[in-house]
Amino acid sequence: MCRHAAWLGAPRPLTSLLDDPGHGLLRQSYAPRHQRCGAVNADGFGIGWYDPHHREPVRYRRSVPIWTDANLPALAGAARSGCLIAAVRSATPGMPLEESATAPFTEGRWLLSHNGRVSRDAVRPLAGDREPESACDSAWLAAAVFARLGAGSPLCDAVAAVVVPAGLDDPGARLNLLVTDGDAVVATAWHETLFVHLGEGVLLASEPVDDRPGWEPVPDRHLVLATPDGVRVQPL
């Protein structure tokens, strides 16, 4: 059910999430090591980053396997930022295979990625009058979170206010989210794996992108707030 990763810290290229590390998202797309549901993430991919010359984040998405895009290596090597997000997709059965169903989703300054699945009936009421850009479950989650962010809720509150009721309404939901505004990253662990690594910055990922020491699993049903000042982990 997808793999994703985010970086917050000193500017670095998107290749640092994709293919520079030994087990980056490129490798996780066909050989994940900790994925609990599904074995291959070949239903699309997306990347997002923040450029100081642009008010809104830059995003690139495709509905093809990440290893088939001949333009990606050059693009990912040139895209450099202090806040990066990337995802490879394994579509929930019955969900559309299209670019608009592929993370990261965006509105204004925000980027959102979802690793997992959830009943759309559990999320639709949370989105209010927001219309998602795709009919897929992840797009409905994004619409619900963006609705709260647009109303002024802080990142942590907006994410928790969607993940908790959706997860309680759908006990089989897998709700690992990455949400960022370019200055902070919020991540959730809900019935899927999430790891954090602290070094020169903060690296959050569905599973470790390399074999360095220092990777720590995030407990299930917990939320992580990563800022330039450090990391806070709290129960959901």
Q: For strands 230-235 and 80-88, give the pairing.
A: unpaired
Do residues 115 and 87 touch, judged by C-beta distance below 8 A? Answer: yes
Active-site annotation holder among 2, 37, 83, 136: 2
Do residues 227 and 53 touch, judged by C-beta distance below 8 A? Answer: no
At 100, is the secondary structure helix, strand, or coil? helix
Task: Identify the bridge partners of residue 205 per DSSP, sorted by sequence position.
Answer: 5, 195
What percentage of the chain's residues is helix, strand, coil (to nearest 5)? Answer: 25, 30, 45
Structure tokens at 94: 């019955």
Residue carrying the six token digits 């928790």:
160
> Any catalytic annotation for residue 136?
no
Distance, CA of 87 to CA of 5 (rounded, Å): 7
Distance, CA of 236 to CA of 229 (rounded, Å): 22
User: Which residues are marked as active site?
Assistant: 2
